Amino acid sequence: MSKPRSGKLQTPSGGAGFDEADAVKLWIHCSRCYELFAEKRFGFFLLACHHVFCEKCIKVTAGRTPSDAPIYECSTCKGRVRGRQITNMMPKLFKDYFHPEPYNLTNDTVEKFQKRNHMHFDRFKKRKELEVNKLTKDTELARALCQKRLQEMQMLRVERKKLSQRMKHIKLVNQKAEMQRIAQAQVNRSLETTKSSSPAPDSTRARIRGSEDSQAPRRRASKDSTRSTQSKRRHVTGFRHHPNHSFIL
């Protein structure tokens, strides 16, 4: 039978993938920053207090003599203890703490150690899940709020367009009214100038009446003369008679 091919899994930090064989090591993490041992970016240390830290989260102090092993300051229990770097070259007694099948070992301390680290890492994952869920809800709420604000902005944009069109219409009406007012003012001004240049109606009427009064005796005299001439012509006799065709000779 052919062996199953080992695929690549994505690391939680989004870095390079690792083999499925390293999946059994995902519980090995730093007790402070939760860096994973399977990512192989930093060295890890197992302290005598059974706490695991990466090299960037642990403090190292020198021993009493240069030949002594270094002393590490644990940030969890605040103790100064010895420790070893987690490698394949470490003694079997310490290497068994990271055995992939602790239930096959007779040492209950290894199983308790791995179980405690599993629980610690699970609490971290649950806390991160809650944070992610909260961020997801906040994102959905923000999206809904943005959509609502977008709709309001679109409505305001339409209302603004209507108001701008109305303002243009009002400007045109005002311009037309102003032009009509100016034209009417010019007409009124021209009428005032013509009235001022032409004589007043009362004076013209008085002049007409005066001329009529001055011409009245002349007209009377001419009428009397015409009447006298007509009367004279009536008293004159002559041989002229009106034609009368009522008789026959």
Tens digits of residue pLDDT in 160-216: 999 999 999 999 999 999 999 999 999 888 888 887 776 555 555 666 666 666 666
Residue 168 phi, psi (nearest 5)? -65, -40
Check residue 197 and give its pLDDT: 73
Q: Which two tokens stand for residue 194?
A: 């013509």
Distance CA 30, CA 117 (A): 10
Q: Which two tokens stand for residue 217?
A: 């005796």
Check residue 11 and give its pLDDT: 52
Within its chain, how far is the Cα of 176 from the centroid? 37
Strand partners, 71: 61, 82
Contact between 113 and 19 under an 8 Å Cβ cutoff? The reply is no
Check residue 107 and give its pLDDT: 84
Q: C-alpha angle 64/69/72, rounded to 5°?
A: 90
For residue 8, which amino acid is it?
A: K
Q: Which two tokens stand for residue 116?
A: 């405690």
Residue 166 phi, psi (nearest 5)? -65, -40
Contact between 39 and 13 under an 8 Å Cβ cutoff? The reply is yes
Contact between 74 and 49 under an 8 Å Cβ cutoff? The reply is yes
Distance CA 98, CA 24 (A): 9
For residue 243, which amino acid is it?
A: P
pLDDT above 50: residue 230: yes
| Higher-scoring residue by pLDDT: 249, 238 | 238
Kindly state the DSSP code that residue 6 receives in the 8-state scheme: P
For residue 123, which amino acid is it?
A: R
CATH of domain 12-98: 3.30.40
| Helical H segments across the chain, by residue range | 92-95, 108-197, 201-235
> Where in the chain are the domains?
12-98
Could you give the percent of the chain with pLDDT greater than 70? Answer: 68
The predicted-structure confidence for 59-115, as pLDDT tens digits, reads as follows 877 666 566 678 888 888 888 888 889 998 989 989 999 998 888 888 888 999 999
Check residue 36 and give its pLDDT: 92
The predicted-structure confidence for 99-157, as pLDDT tens digits, reads as follows 988 888 888 889 999 999 999 999 999 999 999 999 999 999 999 999 999 999 999 99
**Helix (H) / strand (E) containing 33:** none
pTM across the whole model: 0.56
Q: C-alpha angle 45/54/114, rounded to 5°?
A: 60
Q: Could you give the 3-state DSSP secondary structure of residue 54?
A: strand
